[in-house]
Amino acid sequence: MDFDFTNEQEAFRTEVEAFLDANDDPEVFDPTRENMAQIVDTPKRRALMKKLGDQGWLGITWPKDYGGQEGEGVYEYILNEALARRGGPQIGKGVGIIGKTLIAHGSEVLKEEFLPKILANEVEFAVGYSEPEAGSDAAAMKLKADKTEGGWILNGQKTWTTSAHFAEWYWVGARTDPDAPKHHGITLFLVPLDHPGITVQGIWTMGDERTNDVFFDDVFVPDEYVVGQLNHGFQYISQALDIERFTMFTFSPVEQRLDLLVQYVRTATRDGEPLRDDPRVRARMARLATQAEVARCMGLRVVDASVKAEDGGGPPPTIEASEYKLFTTEFSKCLADASMDLGGPGTQLRVGTDEAPMGGRAESTYRYTVLDTIGGGTSEVQKNIITRRGLGLPKNF
């Protein structure tokens, strides 16, 4: 594959950057929030995404029958990375996880109701897989869905649902067949979050961001809001997680932080000597730069594998997505460690402190990067996927 963009792709990137320049607003873009910037909700952020929809950029890879452009995934990648670089909202859950799953498996009723709203950015979703006893192991979920006349009654709890305090709809997995093996018997539902039986309680993370517990108390969901086939939900979740592991953990914020560290090392001194002349510092910086290029290329491999899968020329990019997510988020932690080490004691000052090295970015990213290795499946889960599906090793290896 070619790791460089074509002239057409470069032209699109230039067009996107010009659009973002014209709509620049500090209330919309905040790169110091790292990848969590995409889950912040304000009227101005929704307005920006509405403008993206008006540009036709929220359904680039969708079929034309559903309002998309049937474009190559690399254009979606370019757009998402440009938004992430500025710390803005991203195309994320609606276009990717929910939209693409509905296109592939949803009923015509759900497609007609939700796909136009997604393209116009008129709806926000929260995604509910994790539970107190089913974190990275989504197949262990126990939220009960009992059949009743005309629909289902849901009872139980979800946790770590990041957008539940502002989203309108909940994309949630529940167990519809308790006697089936744990990877079967799960069904996906779409549930309005203003349902009187739903309670949302905030949880504040070490990255100063809010996630949530969500409690279900006799929540009725009509049959028409079942997504796809009954008891096939885990298969749909697995396919969507490939998208989440890639689109929710973008590379450009990591690249931006490396650039900040490079700029700092070029001018900083230690004991009166330029930091850039220390051979150990130079070796560490060279290692980080090499790892950054590896992460960039691994991201493009996911895009390439996705395009081939959509064209029917290959399997879904499950292995590539896990490799990218594992390597990039662990590298991001190494970069945060290096920024703290090379910046010295001043890096413990909070982000936005003028006298702090790198504007205090090191301190905030040191906390945020821990979250990245957990969301979308922990690093340990990614290793299991790679060893089992990529290397063909047994589960108990």
Tell me: do 284 and 384 sit in the same domain: yes
Question: Considering the domain boundaries, does residue 243 fall inside one?
Answer: no
Per-residue pLDDT of 28-85, as tens digits, reads 898 887 766 667 778 898 899 999 999 999 989 999 999 999 988 889 999 999 999 9
Look up residue 101 and give its amino acid.
T
The pLDDT assigned to 265 comes to: 97
Tell me: do 72 and 157 sit in the same domain: no
Distance CA 138, CA 129 (A): 6
Q: Residues 215, 221, 226, CA angle at the centre, nearest 5°?
A: 110
Closest by CA to 63, choosing from 21, 99, 14, is: 99
- Cβ neighbors of 19 (< 8 A, separation 6 or more) are 51, 55
The pLDDT assigned to 367 comes to: 87
Question: Considering the domain boundaries, does residue 207 fall inside one?
Answer: yes
**For the ranges 37-46, 111-120, 251-260, 380-389, which has the lowest average pLDDT?**
37-46
The pLDDT assigned to 326 comes to: 95
Last residue of a domain, one of 235, 268, 298: 235
Closest by CA to 127, choosing from 155, 152, 96, is: 96
Average the pLDDT over 320-332 and give the result.
94
Q: Residue 168: what are its φ and ψ, rounded to 5°?
A: -90, -30
- Cβ neighbors of 324 (< 8 A, separation 6 or more) are 245, 246, 249, 295, 298, 299, 301, 302
Tell me: do 172 and 228 sit in the same domain: yes
What sign results for the dihedral spanned by CA atoms 323, 324, 327, 333?
Answer: negative
The pLDDT assigned to 315 comes to: 79
Average the pLDDT over 24-29 and give the result.
90
Residues of the domain holding 275: 251-390
Tell me: do 156 and 217 sit in the same domain: yes
The pLDDT assigned to 150 comes to: 97
More confident call, 207 vs 243: 207
On the question of pLDDT at 316 being above 70, the answer is yes
Average the pLDDT over 100-115 and give the result.
96
Long-range contacts of 49-53 (CB under 8 A, 24+ apart): 49/89, 49/121, 50/120, 50/121, 50/122, 51/19, 51/23, 52/79, 52/91, 52/121, 53/119, 53/120, 53/121
On the question of pLDDT at 389 being above 60, the answer is yes
- Cβ neighbors of 93 (< 8 A, separation 6 or more) are 125, 126, 127, 163, 171, 244
- CATH value at residue 50: 1.10.540.10
On the question of pLDDT at 397 being above 60, the answer is no
If you search the block for the tokens 């006349």, which residue do you land on? 149
Neighbours of 152 (CB within 10 A): 22
On the question of pLDDT at 364 being above 90, the answer is no
Question: Considering the domain boundaries, does residue 365 fall inside one?
Answer: yes
**For the ranges 134-143, 240-249, 261-270, 368-377, which has the lowest average pLDDT?**
240-249
Average the pLDDT over 295-315 and give the result.
83
3-class DSSP string for the chain = CCCCCCHHHHHHHHHHHHHHHHCCCCCCCCHHHHHHHHHCCCHHHHHHHHHHHHCCCCCCCCCHHHCCCCCCHHHHHHHHHHHHHCCCCCCHHHHHHHHHHHHHHCCHHHHHHHHHHHHCCCCCEEEECCECCECCCHHHCCCEEEEECCEEEEEEEECCCCCCCCCCEEEEEEECCCCCCCCCCEEEEEEECCCCCEEEEEEECCCCCEEEEEEEEEEEEEHHHEECCCCCHHHHHHHHHHHHHHHCCCCHHHHHHHHHHHHHHHHCEECCEEHHHCHHHHHHHHHHHHHHHHHHHHHHHHHHHHHHHHCCCCCCCHHHHHHHHHHHHHHHHHHHHHHHHHHCHHHHCCCCCCCCHHHHHHHHHHHHHHHHCCCCCCHHHHHHHHHHHHCCCCCCC
Tell me: do 257 and 384 sit in the same domain: yes
Mean pLDDT of all residues belonging to the chain: 90
The pLDDT assigned to 313 comes to: 65
More confident call, 361 vs 243: 361
Last residue of a domain, one of 39, 71, 90: 90
Look up residue 84 and give its amino acid.
A
Q: Which residues pair with 153 in a beta bridge?
A: 146, 220
Tell me: do 266 and 358 sit in the same domain: yes
Tell me: do 136 and 167 sit in the same domain: yes
Dihedral angle over CA of 212, 215, 219, 222, nearest 10: 40
Number of domains in the chain: 3
Average the pLDDT over 6-21 and give the result.
96
Average the pLDDT over 108-131 and give the result.
94
- CATH value at residue 362: 1.20.140.10
On the question of pLDDT at 8 being above 80, the answer is yes
Question: Considering the domain boundaries, does residue 354 fall inside one?
Answer: yes
Tell me: do 225 and 165 sit in the same domain: yes
Tell me: do 41 and 84 sit in the same domain: yes
Question: Considering the domain boundaries, does residue 213 fall inside one?
Answer: yes
Per-residue pLDDT of 142-178, as tens digits, reads 999 999 999 999 999 999 998 999 999 999 999 999 9
The pLDDT assigned to 356 comes to: 92
